[in-house]
A = this chain, B = another copy of it.
Amino acid sequence: MEPLENDRFLRALLREPVDRTPVWMMRQAGRYLPEYRATRERAGSFMALCKSPELACEVTLQPLERFPLDAAILFSDILTIPDAMGLGLYFAEGEGPRFERPLRTAAEIDRLGVPDPEQELGYVIDAVRTIRRELRGRVPLIGFSGSPWTLSTYMVEGGSSKEYAHVKGMMFDRPELMHKLLDTIARSVTSYLNAQIAAGAQAVMIFDTWGGILTPRDYREFSLRYMEQIVAGLTREAEGRKVPVILFTKGGGGWLEAMADTGCDALGVDWTLDLGDARRRVGDRVALQGNMDPAVLYASPERIRQEVVTILDSYGKGSGHVFNLGHGIHQHVDPEHAAAFVEAVHELSVPYHD
């Protein structure tokens, strides 16, 4: 592997000194980019795009051609694991992800196996290898997975949900069954992320998109606990460097302290928290990644720069901050505004690192 030209992102995650604040954007390879829409069109379907290592590599690199981002993130979907478990993932036009065979019974959950990442998920691991090669050491590559709780919501509901009737019904009435399911998913995520690391991912992120719909007690018992299990099972060093782990629970601002105690290296933070408050709460236990409201990118470039300063000021001096949006970039954002954002972070963050 070629040596890293820009390791600002990895250094900030480990709270080591950097020359400026690194920046990337969740969903930076996505629908707001016309070149992404063209590749997606060529692939024929979203899943065909995910399942082709060459096309996944192509869209992963697209935003790096436009913006001087400090990290690339594997283009994939969080639902690859349940698909590999045999649930039959498909995307109904305009309706989001669906599973042909949602999990409702103990027998269905008992039958679930842990997928072999090099077999059933080989297309993802191949994509990681392809992207690492094509990146040629420019910036680090982030691997990722959904959290066990988040994956379980789709697996039990059979798709997206507003009320979570089935999965919460199972959690409240059959907690032992829910734990069995979550343990199987956690073991699958661990093996999946370790395969991504072995194939070249230099940091990994766990997306707990739906942890924020739980009570504090249920979050600890049904979401955080399994992310902690994963963190404990991950390969933490590769190619002679540490492999940082980032946890992100959307809407999890109330639980930062507990998240920081899992042994991870960094926490993703959404925009409903003041970043300075978040830093005071976690102290020097973890780095923080975030947290600009993605809707700021609808505003003028001047207003975007102003918001970048507000967030840099809120975090304050010193390393340990990876600039990002508090959630994925919206599909109707003008790419020029994304460019203004990335440039503002690099230009305006220098004084925070002297």
Binding site for B on A (CB under 8 A): 163-165, 168-169, 172-173, 212-218, 251, 253-254, 271-274, 277, 293-296, 298-300, 303, 307, 310, 330, 332
Q: Are A212 and B272 in contact (CB under 8 A)?
A: yes
CA distance A310 to B163 in the complex (A): 22
Q: Are B299 and A272 in contact (CB under 8 A)?
A: no
Complex interface: chain B residues within 8 A of A271 (CB): 215
Chain B's closest residue to A255 (CB) is B272
CA distance A113 to B271 in the complex (A): 33
Q: Are B251 and A295 in contact (CB under 8 A)?
A: no
- With beta carbons under 8 angstroms apart, the residue of B169, B215, B217 that contacts A298 is B169
Q: Are B165 and A295 in contact (CB under 8 A)?
A: yes
Between A212, A215, A293, the greatest number of chain B beta carbons within 10 A of the residue's beta carbon is seen for: A215
A278 to chain B, nearest CB (A): 10
Q: Are B251 and A272 in contact (CB under 8 A)?
A: yes
List 18 extra interface pairs beyond A216-B274, A218-B293, CB under 8 A: A163-B295, A163-B330, A163-B332, A164-B295, A165-B295, A165-B330, A165-B332, A169-B295, A169-B298, A172-B295, A213-B272, A215-B271, A215-B274, A215-B293, A216-B272, A217-B310, A253-B254, A254-B254
Complex interface: chain B residues within 8 A of A253 (CB): 254
Chain B's closest residue to A300 (CB) is B173
Q: A165-B332, A251-B251 are in contact. Are A172 and B298 (CB under 8 A)?
A: yes
Chain B's closest residue to A306 (CB) is B172
Q: Are B303 and A173 in contact (CB under 8 A)?
A: yes
A291 to chain B, nearest CB (A): 8
A162 to chain B, nearest CB (A): 9
A297 to chain B, nearest CB (A): 9
Between A164, A172, A271, A332, the greatest number of chain B beta carbons within 10 A of the residue's beta carbon is seen for: A172
Q: A163-B330, A272-B216 are in contact. Are A298 and B251 (CB under 8 A)?
A: no
Chain B's closest residue to A163 (CB) is B330
Chain B's closest residue to A293 (CB) is B215
Complex interface: chain B residues within 8 A of A277 (CB): 216
Q: A165-B332, A169-B298, A169-B299 are in contact. Are A215 and B272 (CB under 8 A)?
A: yes
Complex interface: chain B residues within 8 A of A215 (CB): 271-272, 274, 293
Between A163, A218, A274, A298, the greatest number of chain B beta carbons within 10 A of the residue's beta carbon is seen for: A298
Q: Please list 5 pairs of residues, one from A and one from B, whose beta carbons are closer than 8 Å in the complex, sorted by A's number.
A: A165-B332, A168-B293, A169-B298, A212-B272, A254-B272
